[in-house]
Amino acid sequence: MSFFRYKSKLFPLVAIVAGLFVVIFGLVTADSLLACSIYLAGVFMWLSLFGCGRACLRTLPAFIVVGGIFFAVFYAATGTFDAGWAMANRFGAVFLGVVPGVCCEPVRMTRSLSQVHTPRAVTLGMLIAMSFVPMLRGEIRRVREAMKTRGAGSILNPRMLYRAFLVPLVMRLVNISDTLALSVETRGFALGKVPYTIYKKESFALSDVLFAAGLVAGAVLTVIL
């Protein structure tokens, strides 16, 4: 049976619930400085074991920068090391909570939401939201490459930033939005209550249960110890 298989990619709904659990637990226990930090470090390693290692490493520099800034701000404002450490724990929980959802492919997320009969407006919104950031990153890269090809100069120049970067980027995003609207319409993605089928269904696996059990067990140990 498929349930007993180990899958490197988490079931999308499990990933969302797990992310929310990590964020809420981290925010609640952030003042337990050492215990919360150990739990977040364990979550980092646990996510890496279940196929989210690359996403964890990508979020690590952003956490170090943002967490370091707020640590310094709260340390300067309160004069206590504990206040800065607690704030760093909160940001660590938020960054780690985002990782499972980021690792889910938009198509898999859409399938799983459709399986539980989520309203189509929510499903479509989730699909577009999850696809927007990678698409925006790619468009920014293409515009920057076009600027280099034309010798437009650096975007640090305010004139070049507006004329050679922002205007082409906005125009490309507008064209993409029009294409996306037509694509959704031609594929029959209706927002009303109409019957639909799912070509490839997502299923739970033993790895999903082990992943969720590990997060809960770590939280229980953190509270007890």
**Whether pTM exceeds 0.85:** no
178 pLDDT exceeds 80? no
CA–CA separation, 191 and 170 (whole Å): 27
Among the residue ranges 3-7, 9-13, 51-55, 221-225, the one predicted with the least confidence is 3-7
Q: What b/e string do you get for 126-143 counting C-beta neighbours within 10 Å, with b at 16 or more?
A: bbeebbeeeeeeebeeeb
Q: In sequence order, what DSSP letters do the residues of the chain get, joined into one string?
A: -GGGS--SSPPHHHHHHHHHHHHHHHHHSTTSHHHHHHHHHHHHHHHIIIIIHHHHHHHHHHHHHHHHHHHHHHHHHH--HHHHHHHHHHHHHHHHHHHHHHHS-HHHHHHHHHHTT--HHHHHHHHHHHHHHHHHHHHHHHHHHHHHHHT---TTSHHHIIIIIIHHHHHHHHHHHHHHHHHHHHTT--SSS-----SS-----HHHHHHHHHHHHHHHHHHH-
In degrees, to the nearest 5, what angle opens at C-alpha 213 toward C-alphas 51 and 118? 75
Reading the block at residue 114, the tokens are: 């459709």
Among the residue ranges 39-48, 55-64, 188-197, the one predicted with the least confidence is 188-197
pLDDT of residue 4: 47
| Domain-wise residue ranges, the chain | 2-104+203-224, 117-186
Q: Which comes out higher in pLDDT, residue 225 or 171?
A: 171
pLDDT per position as a tens digit, 2-22:
554 555 678 888 898 999 999
CA–CA separation, 31 and 89 (whole Å): 8
pLDDT per position as a tens digit, 98-141:
898 888 888 888 888 878 777 777 777 777 777 777 777 888 88
Provide the pLDDT confidence category of residue 36 given band limits of 50, 70 and 90.
very high
